[in-house]
Amino acid sequence: MLNEKRYDLTCDAPASSEMLPDSRVRSIVNDYIQQVEAAAPGLLAGFYIYGSISMGDYSLELSDIDFVAVTSEELNSEQLAVLAEVHRTVASRARKPNMDGIYVTSGQLGKLPHEIPPFPYYHRNRLHESGYFECNSVTWAELKESGIRIVGLSPSMLEYEVDWNDLLLNMQDNLNSYWRNWMMQSAKLWSVKGMKLLSRGAAEWGVLGISRLYYTFRERAITTKAAAGEYMLEHVDQRWHPIIQEAIHYRRGIPSSYQSINKRRADALAYMLFMMEECNRQAAEALSNK
């Protein structure tokens, strides 16, 4: 069982890899931890923040508080009801950022859907009793490499290893299923997704999302969306720079430099089509060098 050493969210500790980056995030997490401890002492054997917050790409408007909660036992209906009430209370006190995460036991850490039964997860302001939300190699790699410990062992000491060959294979499948379908649907101007791609947020999602895949295939590492965009500015022709910069600027709250939303949409789709080929080429090379 994981130990219960806690990171003090209220202290004025020096900045470190375990320091949450924003007072609103600290307040929400502290509120959550205190309520769970009061209602179900010892239920949390581990609690970690991962994702954009832990990797230094936090945005109040765009980021969720991604978490992995390690429970001391598989949760029963009574415990699930307690957690649902805690989440409702926390969400009622702070509209943003939202919490988003999973509840697993220590034995389920690092496992993939075919290896474990479905588990509870919290997503879009609702506690779901069963599913495989965010159960993938990328989640486990981010947790292990950059997760912020709130309760439990240091993430680097968690007893699982990430199989990078599996991670790359899963990413390649994601590229050619989710992202290819997303791009094809978005190319249909009068479809729902096609209309959504007229927005800056959708363009940022597509441009930086596929850029992160390219970075991982080439570098065998995981980075943030903004950092992936900066990386691509150094590795692709300048004709793609305007749409990449547009995506980075949106994430950082900088006004758009595009005069035409149709031009932005066309540039985003063209870049993604180009990157589909580049990502598959990099994936094939990475997997051949395993």
The DSSP annotation for 237-263 comes to -GGGHHHHHHHHHHHTTPPP--S-HHH
Task: Let me know if residue 122 belongs to a domain.
Answer: yes
CATH of the domain at 79: 3.30.460
**Which candidate, 224, 271, 213, places its Cα nearest to that of 252?**
224
- 151 has which bridge partners? 6, 47
107 and 174, same structural domain?
no
CA angle centred on 211, ends 143 and 99, rounded to 5°: 40
- Taking residues 105-115, what's their average pLDDT? 95
Query: pTM of this prediction?
Result: 0.87
171 and 59, same structural domain?
no
Cis omega (within 30 of 0) for bond into 120: no
278 and 187, same structural domain?
yes
How confident is the prediction for the chain on average, in pLDDT? 90
- What's the domain range around 227? 164-288
Q: How far apart are CA 220 and CA 213, in angstroms?
A: 10
Tens of pLDDT, residue by residue over 45-90, are 999 999 989 998 887 777 899 999 999 999 999 999 999 999 999 9
Tens of pLDDT, residue by residue over 187-244, are 887 777 778 888 999 999 999 999 999 999 999 999 999 999 999 999 999 999 999 9
Tens of pLDDT, residue by residue over 17-56, are 346 877 889 999 999 999 999 999 999 999 999 998 999 8
Pairing label, strands 65-71, 99-105? parallel
pLDDT at residue 290 in the model: 62
Task: Let me know if residue 14 belongs to a domain.
Answer: no
93 and 40, same structural domain?
yes
133 and 228, same structural domain?
no
